[in-house]
Structure 1
Amino acid sequence: MTAEEGGSVRVDAWIWSVRLVKTRSAATAACRGGHVRVNDERVKPATPVRVGDEVRVRLEGRERVVVVRRILRKRVSAPLAQESYTDNSPPPPPREALIPVARRDRGAGRPTKRDRRELDRLRTLPPTP
């Protein structure tokens, strides 16, 4: 199998192999951009990850917090990947909490004064409790 009990692996390869990011290059870019932390320290892509380390990955406005349970060197299926870490991530915000985005159809032309007022009204809605 591709798992090991001891040893270490690069952090970018590990977050790719457990399917936290879609591609290896995206994992490397996330590390270089400061979106990956291991034990509360910003890391470079080649930083080693060991069993028991806490890895925080911040992508698309959501932070994933996982604890390494198994070292993987190659990408595996989703069920095997989920067994390789303990997920301590906060739950994602509900869809209702997202602010409605005012969008116009492509090619609809410039908004009229009435359309602009409606867009302004949508943008200044008070947050719902």
Structure 2
Amino acid sequence: MDSIKAVRIDKWLWVARFFKTRSLASAAIDAGHVHLNKERIKPARTVKLGDQLRIHTEQGEFEVVVIGISEQRGPATAARLLYSESLASQQKRQYEREARQLAPRFEHPSGEGRPSKKWRRQLHEFERKNNGEI
């Protein structure tokens, strides 16, 4: 891990287990979901020790500092040793997770077709409550 000085950012994100595949990591970088030292980057950019990354994934937004570099993907415990996440980032993700869990959800029971009378009443009730709060 110490003999390597730099590695491509898409490979590092895959090794650090932020994304399942390198192609998903490259797509996220191209979409602007990854910033290196507050700059938008390309997948071929190299990451070095001490670089600051802001990574937006399905699990939330991570603000990490690179403390290790590897070219081989290993277990999750080894992947966590490659970066250190700031406390503020951890708290922000926890707050967003709790907010998503507490947010009201309204889903159609079957997911298809016209709403039933009961479902329509629930929908109107839901809309009436939310329009009053806005």
Class of the TM-score when normalised by the shorter of the 2 chains: 0.7 to 0.9
Equivalent-residue separation in structure 2 for 1:20 and 1:103 (angstroms) = 30
> Which residue type is aligned with residue 37 of structure 2?
N
SS in 2 for 1:91: helix
CA pair 6-15 structure 1, distance change in 2 beyond 3 A: same
Structure 1 residues 19-34: aligned runs within 5 Å = 19-34=17-32
Equivalent-residue separation in structure 2 for 1:101 and 1:78 (angstroms) = 32
Equivalent-residue separation in structure 2 for 1:69 and 1:107 (angstroms) = 46
Shift, 1:39, TM fit: 0.5
SS in 2 for 1:102: coil
Which residue of 14, 17, 21 maps to 2:15?
A: 17
Which residue of 50, 57, 80 maps to 1:52?
A: 50
Question: TM-score when scaled to structure 2?
Answer: 0.80
**Of 109-118 and 76-85, the range deviating more from structure 2:** 109-118
Question: TM-score when scaled to structure 1?
Answer: 0.83
Shift, 1:65, TM fit: 1.0
Shift, 1:96, TM fit: 6.3
Equivalent-residue separation in structure 1 for 2:57 and 2:100 (angstroms) = 20
Say which structure, 1 or 2, has more relative contact order (CA 8 Å, 6+ apart). Answer: 1
The residue number in structure 2 matching 1:111 is: 115
What residue ranges of structure 1 are gaps of 5+ in the alignment?
A: none
**Of 101-110 and 29-38, the range deviating more from structure 2:** 101-110
The residue number in structure 1 matching 2:62 is: 64
Shift, 1:112, TM fit: 3.4
Equivalent-residue separation in structure 2 for 1:96 and 1:59 (angstroms) = 15
Shift, 1:100, TM fit: 2.4
Root mean square deviation, CA, Å: 2.4
Name the structure with the higher helix share.
2
Q: How many pairs were matched up?
A: 125
1:50-77, CA deviations, whole angstroms, 9 ceiling, x for partnerless residues?
0000111112272111100011111111
